[in-house]
Amino acid sequence: MGLALVVVLVLAGVLAPLLAPASPARQGPLALAHPSAAHPLGTDEYGRDLFSRVLYGLRQDVFATLIAVPVGALAGILIGLASGLARWLDTVIQRLFDVMLSFTALIAGVTVAMIIGSGATAVMVTIALVNVPLFGRLIRSSVVGERQRDYVVAATAIGSGRVRILVRHILPNGLDPLIVQFALSMSTAVFIEGGMSYVGLGIRPPAPSLGSLLQGSMNFLAQNPWYAIGPMAAVTLLVLGFQLVADGLTASLLRR
């Protein structure tokens, strides 16, 4: 169920130009209109179709998540594997991860936005940075747990180098927790994008994002509660889908 939900939402975002009944930027005379056949989720304060804006906001979330999480995961895995090359390097890397984990996602987002400015790039950089220590710690645990195993000792005895052992032997045996973490990180990335856009550090208006749509709806809840329902439902279902995928992967891996 989780995978089906994620696939449907991802496809809805990717195919937003085909599915949206109107341009997300096109203004109309019907401001804060209630849902109708022409506007399934109503309109915002500028008369823009909310269904179209939710689809395009979902598209922004999907693209940011699918780009930033793999980048952060890859960087974390490479740095975590490097901790197995030397004890002093392991100490340096662990202290680096401690510093990175001391920052909450919002503080990291504010810091990134101060350095490079707000926008989609700031969102993706923040998501990637938040994920680096998570994946790095996981693969480092695998390095520590696996390097005394018989197959690693045997590979060392026949002259295999440390890099080869890490990449060819230890990494494949540490993939299970990384796969589960990847699904969890996807759901967290949706929250990060939504939170940064909500406080004005993410994707800039008039480009739609789920976070900015939620922020824009706060002043009009009494007049048009449907304004908030669309983006809120999209965020909830996307996060729920990734969480269900993570739960399913965990259960499947435990049965192996």
pLDDT digits (tens, 9 = 90+) for 162-207: 777 777 777 777 788 899 999 999 999 999 999 999 888 888 878 8
Beta bridge partners of 43: 49
d(CA 166, CA 173): 10
Q: What is the pLDDT of residue 219?
A: 85
The CATH architecture one would assign to domain 2-7+45-255 is: Orthogonal Bundle (1.10)
Query: pLDDT of 25-71, one tens digit each?
Result: 888 888 888 888 888 888 888 889 999 999 999 999 999 999 999 99
pLDDT digit string, tens, across residues 100-153: 998 888 899 999 999 999 899 999 999 999 999 999 999 988 877 766 776 666
Q: Which residue has the tokens 């179209």?
A: 52
Q: Is the pTM of this model over 0.75?
A: yes
pLDDT at 159: 66
Helix (H) and strand (E) counts for the chain? 12, 0
Look up tokens 């990335």; give the residue: 189
Domain range list for the chain: 2-7+45-255
